[in-house]
Amino acid sequence: MDGLAVPSHGLKLLSGTANRGLAEEIARNLGIDLCRVNLGRFADGEISVRIDENVRGNDVFILQPTNPPAENLLELLLLIDAARRASAARITCVMPYYGYARQDRKDQPRVPIGAKLVANMITAAGVDRVLGVDFHQHQLQGFFDVPVDHLYAMPVFTAHYRKMQLNDPVVVAPDVGSAKMARGFAKRLNASLAIIDKRRPQANVSEVVNVVGDVEGHDCILVDDMIDTAGTVTEAARALKGLGAKDIYICATHALLSGPAVKRLNDAPIKEIALTDTIAIPEERRPKNLFMLSVGELISKAIRFTHSEQSVSSLFD
């Protein structure tokens, strides 16, 4: 595989239980076996962790997205602690999805800054580096006092859409916050840009106030970092259809797909939903018209480059 032809000596990849499929794909790309780890439960439900092979002096990468349940985060912390106490030479936390990142500032009285708390816990557990994909805010990198390599899934999506014959596509940002990402996306696809003015009257409720840009007669690609309850993208899809858009494609890196998400996606005027595998999606949570894309190759390259002390920045483009 391109960019992976360097020795993997001393490299160990450990996985929690949150996304074993992605970990296995990365191990395959790297040409190594996943490190043997025993992850179980005590009778009362507490997590027990044991690394079942020697990692002393090794360059250890621990993969675990921290989407709910919170046990995923706890498992990650326990794996890091186990690797540190087993004398790993370097520990990199590979977090395809950074959960608890949405509360990232004190914008109301008496709220926590959950994203900072989680970063503190991961750092205190003993990581030397963090490797992440599409953080909810790019500046979350600064919440860690260890080096962070922040990858973008955008090239995975743009490669997918380049293969399709879309009708004069417009890339649509579903809210003002995602306008910058959507602009980069549109530039790569040589498409035009539209931005939705979204209002959130309350958490997890989304209302489209206005659409800025011309979408009539165009295929639209709505891009977001995550789909949680799918209110944002399905309301946006309806608004675009109402303005005469042709086919509507949706892409999002992180598939939380909670509560009513699958029903909303199935009922909305959407031609295709492209999601990545940063979060494992069980069969029963898969919407119709789903197209799965993998970030496995991207993460494999980042791991290999990190391990061999090569620049990772080519993967940030």
Give 219 or 225: the residue with its C-beta nearer to ligand R5P. Answer: 225
Give 137 or 308: the residue with its C-beta nearer to ligand R5P. Answer: 137
Encoded amino acid at 299, one letter: I
Give the separation between CA 112 and CA 310, rounded to whole angstroms: 37
Q: Are the CB atoms for 238 and 267 separated by under 8 Å? A: no
State yes or no: is 198 an active-site residue: yes
Least distance to ligand R5P from the beta carbon of 171, Å? Answer: 15
From the list 12, 116, 198, 246, the catalytic residue is: 198
Backbone phi, psi, residue 101, to 5°: -100, -5
Give 85 or 288: the residue with its C-beta nearer to ligand R5P. Answer: 288
Give 8 or 289: the residue with its C-beta nearer to ligand R5P. Answer: 289
**Exposed / middle / buried, residue 54 (Cβ in 10 Å: 0-12, 13-18, 19+):** exposed
Least distance to ligand R5P from the beta carbon of 216, Å? Answer: 24
Quote the tokens at residue 290: 């789903």
Least distance to ligand R5P from the beta carbon of 58, Å? Answer: 37
Least distance to ligand R5P from the beta carbon of 5, Å? Answer: 37
Residue ranges that bind ligand R5P, judged by CB under 6 A: 174-175, 177-178, 204, 206, 224-232
Give the separation between CA 285 and CA 261, rounded to whole angstroms: 9
Element housing 74 (H / E): helix 71-85
Give 35 or 101: the residue with its C-beta nearer to ligand R5P. Answer: 101
Give 229 or 300: the residue with its C-beta nearer to ligand R5P. Answer: 229
All residues at 6 or more sequence positions from 150 whose CB lies less than 8 Å from its CB, including other chains: 132, 133, 135, 138, 141, 316
Give the separation between CA 269 and CA 225, rounded to whole angstroms: 20
Least distance to ligand R5P from the beta carbon of 311, Å? Answer: 29
Quote the tokens at residue 70: 């919170």
Element housing 315 (H / E): none
Report the candidate in 136, 128, 230 with the shortest Cα–Cα distance to residue 177.
136
All residues at 6 or more sequence positions from 110 whose CB lies less than 8 Å from its CB, including other chains: none
Least distance to ligand R5P from the beta carbon of 107, Å? Answer: 13
CB atoms inside a 10 Å sphere around CB 176: 12
The alpha helices in 128-248, defined as continuous H runs, are 154-162, 179-189, 231-242
Task: Find residue 157's DSSP bridge partners.
Answer: none
**Residues taking part in catalysis:** 198
